[in-house]
Amino acid sequence: MTSYTHLTIREREMIFLYHGFGFTIRRIGRLIKRSPSTVMRELKRNTTKFKEYSPSQAQKSYHKNKQRCGRKKILDQSPYKETIRKLLFEDQWSPEQISNRINLENNESVVSYPTIYRSIYNGLFDDGFPVGSPGARKMLRRKERKSVTKRIGDRRGRFTDVKTIHERPTKAENREELGHWEADTVLGHRGKSCLVTLVDRKSRFLLAGRIPKNDSICVRDMIVKLLSPLNKSHRKTITPDRGPEFAKYKYFSRLCGIDCYFADPWSPWQRGTNENTNGLIREYLPKRTDMTPVSEEYIRSVVHKLNNRPRKCLNWKTPYEIFYDKSLSFIS
């Protein structure tokens, strides 16, 4: 069985010519090697009592009709199009997060994330991007992670009088309750400002603050500042790595009433929640960024965005909703 092909401009010109000679539909079909029904539909479609058949007009009409054919873009007329655009560009949510949050708030499957991916690759959200640029596709790219080498002279792992992660309570290990934190620093330009980050293991809720330099005193003071406003029930354990910046752990442990457990040397996977969150922060503050001129308001906005970004591991709820046991609405 041969596949069907549309009439060409040359075939339409031959139909016009033979029809002008007064040939029958069947004879025209034999001459151009098309079925009589094809010729009849072509003439009927493009001829009226006020207008004779025209090959050029028939060809233009064909191209115009062809543009309306094919699968319709689901999001083109969707009421969620602008909401998806906002969450994608302003809040940096992934298509999967957007899709599942929309479905969660509507209690039904409204839009799938492959649909959002298709719309991005088809250029539906490319308005405002320069011609020839990747457009909205650049929002999907992640930079390849480079290997990390140990710094010479690093005293990491030399704490000997500490409780280790293997002694941490089972409820902390299994993420059964709030108040179990993982701690780290996000470095900027060498020797300058950096961030102290604390992430709750159960809710993935983030606390962060900027310090002028990465030393133990600044880290100690910032941890106290971040944890002190919290209820005592939200201050159970904290698990930092063995970097020298956490050498003052006894001070903030005693002042905040929180037990401190250290991960094994060079074992970042034991604090995977914090490491993953630091990777999300790097979307806004790339490596070697000088954080000194970055405003406190911008840092708070980054923390706010991450705490209000739905997570797959939380059944598409946000860290804020889990930590404070509240329900928010993001889909309008």
Give strand pairing partners of 200: 181
Three-class DSSP category at 274: helix
Q: Tell me the C-alpha to C-alpha distance, in Å, between residue 292 and each of 184, 221, 223.
A: 19, 18, 19
Q: Do 290 and 188 form a contact (C-beta atoms < 8 A)?
A: yes
* Position 130 in a domain: yes
The rounded mean pLDDT for the chain is: 89
The H or E element that residue 101 is part of is: helix 95-106
Q: Are strands 237-239 and 259-260 parallel, antiparallel or unpaired?
A: parallel
> Does residue 170 share a domain with residue 271?
yes
Lowest mean pLDDT among 6-15, 77-86, 177-186, 278-287: 77-86
Lowest mean pLDDT among 120-124, 231-235, 268-272: 120-124
* Position 149 in a domain: no
* pLDDT value at 107 more than 70: yes
> Does residue 83 share a domain with residue 64?
no
Q: What is the pLDDT of residues 211-224, one digit of tens each?
A: 999 999 999 999 99
Q: Tell me the C-alpha to C-alpha distance, in Å, between residue 94 and each of 140, 143, 164.
A: 8, 15, 36
Q: What pLDDT is attached to residue 134?
A: 79
Q: What is the pLDDT of residues 179-238, one digit of tens each?
A: 999 999 999 888 889 999 999 999 999 999 999 999 999 999 999 999 999 999 999 999
Q: What pLDDT is attached to residue 146?
A: 52
* pLDDT value at 176 more than 80: yes
Global pTM value: 0.73
Nearest to 182 by CA among 197, 163, 203, 160: 197
| Percent of the chain predicted with pLDDT > 70 | 92
* Position 146 in a domain: no
Three-class DSSP category at 206: strand
* pLDDT value at 272 more than 50: yes
Q: Do 15 and 55 form a contact (C-beta atoms < 8 A)?
A: yes
Q: What pLDDT is attached to residue 249?
A: 94
Q: Do 266 and 157 form a contact (C-beta atoms < 8 A)?
A: yes
List, in sequence order, the alpha helices (H) in 228-295: 249-256, 272-281
* Position 145 in a domain: no
Nearest to 29 by CA among 20, 38, 41, 16: 38
* Position 151 in a domain: no
* pLDDT value at 58 more than 60: yes
Higher-confidence residue of 275 and 50: namely 275
Q: How far apart are CA 283 and CA 279, in angstroms?
A: 7
Average pLDDT in the 237-248 region? 93
**How many domains is the chain built from?**
3
Q: Which pair of structure tokens corresponds to residue 208? A: 């962060």
CB neighbours (10 Å) of residue 25? 18
- Structure confidence at residue 140 as a pLDDT band (50, 70, 90): confident
* Position 176 in a domain: yes
Q: What pLDDT is attached to residue 110?
A: 86
> Does residue 125 share a domain with residue 262?
no
Domain ends where: 41, 68, 95? 68
* Position 142 in a domain: no
- Domain coverage including residue 112: 79-137
Give strand pairing partners of 187: 194
* Position 73 in a domain: no
Q: What pLDDT is attached to residue 124?
A: 85
Phi-psi map region of 152: left, alpha, beta (phi>0 left; psi -120 to 50 alpha): beta
Strands (E), 124-221: 180-187, 194-200, 206-211
Nearest to 54 by CA among 29, 17, 22: 17
Q: What pLDDT is attached to residue 50?
A: 83
Q: Which pair of structure tokens corresponds to residue 202? A: 């159960």
- Structure confidence at residue 141 as a pLDDT band (50, 70, 90): low
